[in-house]
Structure 1
Amino acid sequence: MRDYGGIYLDLDVIVFKPFDDLLYNDFTMGIQKDVGLCNAVIISRPFAPFVTRWIQQYKNFNDSDWDYHSVKLPWFMAKEYPDYINILDEKAFFWPTWSVEDLELMYKSNNYTFTNHQYTYHMWAAALGRKNTSDLFPTSIKNVENMETSFNRAVRKFLKYLPDDFNETNFNE
């Protein structure tokens, strides 16, 4: 990211809208609720000052507190170097959130519709693995096609891009 620039997406991020208008900024991240900047979506030019400074901070990385370097530290740095980063509100990349209520809104109900303002949806795969939410994610393509939930409606348009050899046995891989 530092040397070549580019767009980083976590594997559980779905893109709804092109990032073209964000490519004019040196570095872009989005707010993660009220706790910091989420690193599930990062857009950077090569050698952007923000990413260079952020990487320098990894000399103090503590793997027992990954959230500090991934979410909180970029937030603190953004306050210190506001000219080095373009910050988008939480609804641009990370809404609805990982709360049980928001996960149910996406995966159980049919009451949420993504807006034109929203670039991505972060599916919060780690949160879906929690004991109280593990049954929310669809277990098959048939469920996505036939069950009316906010998530299913949002991703149906992408099903046509699945490879011809895609089958139900590799749906959750």
Structure 2
Amino acid sequence: MISRIFHFIFGLKEQTEPFHLAHYLCLESCRQVNQPEAIYFHYANEPYGPLWDAIKPHLTLLPVQREPLPLAAYDKSAEGKLIAQQGWSYAHEADFIRLKVLLKHGGVYADMDTLFVAPMPSHLYQYDCVLGEEGALPDERGILRPSLCNALIVAVPGAPFVAKWLDAAYATFDGKWTSHSCQLASRLWEAHPELVHVAPRRYFYRHPWTPAGIQSLFERCDPDVRDVFSLHLCSHLWWDEHRTDFTRFHAGLLTEEYVRAGASTYAMLARRFLPTIQNAA
């Protein structure tokens, strides 16, 4: 059985703004919905602010060992150059750290742009490794192939699939967004299907990383959340207010007022996890 320990990685870059409501709601929804044995918060730079002060007592804080990446890899493609230019390489660092954390501790890893909706089915804790399918991604030839997302991973300590993934990730890393993560996981699944259980897409990725998917989270209401256990918010696609190719919604609009009064999918599902007035003060 996989331990019901939840892992989050945060603060791989300097913290210059107070802990955001979206991140608070991620941790608080995890605490209320899953009632975990422990929540391990792996960090390099500790957050600050009233929402952090409210959630911190419920966490086990673990300073993270940094994962240096070959910077030359980012110069090999236009995609890599953009990632380096935008300062997004910390997300790649987290890709490697999460696998090491799971190999050591086991449990459930989730990205900080997650909202937990319902307790995960008990049977998922009975496998050595569990991943969820997301929308298909094009390979190097432009052919759509199944993709296993690494935004939520369930594993026993030393899971063979995770060990193979980590070893291959070092050899595969090319500075692109998912070559060493989601795309690699999908290829390993094809080669070693006995080592990983793949959960249905709607369990964790009901709303895909497309304009329609992002808008269905923050601008419209999806009435069908049956068998949805968590939402992956794909925050890198909309967090910055200057990025409008997926939605005009941005992090500055995700406020307590929006969650409390909004009619969107996210607002309606997140509302019950809002902090009390005392905690938010």
- TM-score normalised by the chain length of structure 1: 0.86
Contact 1:9 1:40 in 2 (8 A): yes
1:8-37: CA deviation from partner (whole Å, max 9, x where unpaired): 000001111223321101000011111311
Contact 1:114 1:154 in 2 (8 A): no
Amino acid at match of 2:161: F
CA distance in 2, matches of 1:61, 1:166: 44
Instruction: Say which is worse superposed, 44-53 or 136-145, in terms of deviation.
Output: 136-145
1:27 aligned to 2:138? no
Matches for 1:36-55 after TM superposition, within 5 Å? 36-55=147-166
CA distance in 2, matches of 1:156, 1:55: 37
Paired residue total: 165
CA distance in 1, matches of 2:209, 2:170: 29
Deviation at 1:60, TM superposition (A): 0.9
**CA RMSD for the aligned pairs?**
1.9
Deviation at 1:47, TM superposition (A): 1.1
Contact 1:30 1:94 in 2 (8 A): yes
Deviation at 1:115, TM superposition (A): 2.4
Larger relative contact order, structure 1 or 2 (CA cutoff 8 Å, min sep 6) = 1
Contact 2:174 2:180 in 1 (8 A): no
1:7 aligned to 2:108? yes
Matches for 1:17-166 after TM superposition, within 5 Å? 17-19=118-120, 20-35=122-137, 36-110=147-221, 112-129=222-239, 130-133=243-246, 135-137=248-250, 138-160=253-275, 164-166=278-280
Quote the residue 2:82 is aligned against.
none
Amino acid at match of 1:34: A
Structure 2 regions of 5+ residues with no counterpart? 1-101, 138-146
- TM-score normalised by the chain length of structure 2: 0.55
- In the TM superposition, structure 1's runs of 4+ consecutive aligned residues that sit over 3 Å from their partners are 162-165
